[in-house]
Structure 1
Amino acid sequence: MENTTTLVTPVNAGIRYGLITGLVTVIYSFVLMATGLEQQAALGFVTFAILIGGIVMAHRYYKQHNGGFMSYGQGLGIATVAGAVIGALSGIFRYVYVNFIDSGYTQKALDIARAKLEADGNMSDEQVETAMQWTAKMMPTGPLSIVWGILATAFFAFLLSLIISAITKHNRPQFE
């Protein structure tokens, strides 16, 4: 009898679920940005849940198509590739949104950050100004923001996968 299990590589699984998770993340980010709720910390945790869910689903998909097996390293690779794809989609979306859809978004975000710092009352006016200068520098809006999005999301997905892969891995028996 022929084996009907289709082998899927870690890269294939990462790209597939990176695209799916990236699209969900972009839609969620658009809703938050359009409604002005992006600054809500609690809603930011939903993005982490989406990323974790995407990694777990990618691992499950990979194992389904590889006889139920996935090594720890394969799990890390899948998550890193997925994270890079998610970062690319998110970075492109953010670049387009900030530069073409809502060109005042960056200034609104800076104004909200300034208001929070001033409302806390823990900093002098001089410290608030210094913090705002650094915040403005750390909010890239050019094409380089896409590269940073890819790198940051791939790295964060890798970090999350250090734990997730330890849970979802299922090594092949050594003497099969």
Structure 2
Amino acid sequence: MTETQPSVSSVALKYGFIGALVSVVFTAVLLITGVNVSGWVGSLGYLILIAFMVIAMKEYKKQNYGYMSYGQGLGIGTLVSLAFGVLGGVFMFIYTSFVDTEYTSNMMDKQRIELEERGMSDEQIEQAISMGESFSSPMMMIVWSIVGYLFIGFLISLIVAAVMKNKRPEFE
């Protein structure tokens, strides 16, 4: 009897996109209510990422007779992170381009105040702000969202996959 393994990518992308939608709604609520998304409350979004990684890995194991290798888990977690990065980046692009066009300039103003409070010179502040502006264009938000989520998600996946793996015995 030959068993067919479930597809790592189909399970990961299904739960990745569902989780990313949950994360987008969470972020939208924070933005609409005026909560600082770059603060500790915004980092709660990573708990959503971890939860959906775990859900996706559990589902894969369920479809695969209770087994999941470390590599499969790592792939699932990374693909879930990719979905989060893509949807999150697209959401921020739409939000900053059409809903709150002042979002980026408001963030730069807050950054300027924070740098002034640290005692930085005007020249240093201008240099930091201009660098920040080059990285915060709407298109760069998509790129940085994908890169950031892939990097952080990969690191988290290393741990989650190690905990959740259940390797199939060599001889059955």
**TM (normalized to structure 1)?**
0.89
The reply on whether 1:157 has 2:137 as its aligned counterpart is no
Question: Where does residue 112 of structure 1 map in the other structure?
Answer: 110
The answer to whether the 8 A contact 2:13-2:83 is kept is yes
Q: CA deviation at 1:93?
A: 0.7
2:134 to 123, 129, 137: 137
**TM (normalized to structure 2)?**
0.91
RMSD of equivalent CA atoms: 2.0
1:169 to 162, 165, 170: 165
Where 1:115 maps in the other structure, the secondary structure is helix
Distance (whole Å) between structure 2 residues aligned to residue 12 and residue 36 of structure 1: 36
Question: Where does residue 95 of structure 1 map in the other structure?
Answer: 93
Q: CA deviation at 1:48?
A: 1.2
Distance (whole Å) between structure 2 residues aligned to residue 6 and residue 26 of structure 1: 34
Q: CA deviation at 1:129?
A: 1.5
Stretch of structure 1 that moved more, 76-85 or 35-44 = 35-44
The answer to whether the 8 A contact 2:69-2:166 is kept is yes
2:61 to 53, 56, 63: 63
The answer to whether the 8 A contact 1:91-1:147 is kept is yes
Question: Where does residue 12 of structure 2 map in the other structure?
Answer: 14
Q: CA deviation at 1:65?
A: 1.0
Q: CA deviation at 1:134?
A: 1.2
Distance (whole Å) between structure 2 residues aligned to residue 91 and residue 41 of structure 1: 18
Gaps of 5+ in 2: none
Distance (whole Å) between structure 1 residues aligned to residue 168 and residue 117 of structure 2: 56
Percent identical among aligned pairs is 40
Question: Where does residue 35 of structure 1 map in the other structure?
Answer: 33
Where 1:48 maps in the other structure, the secondary structure is helix
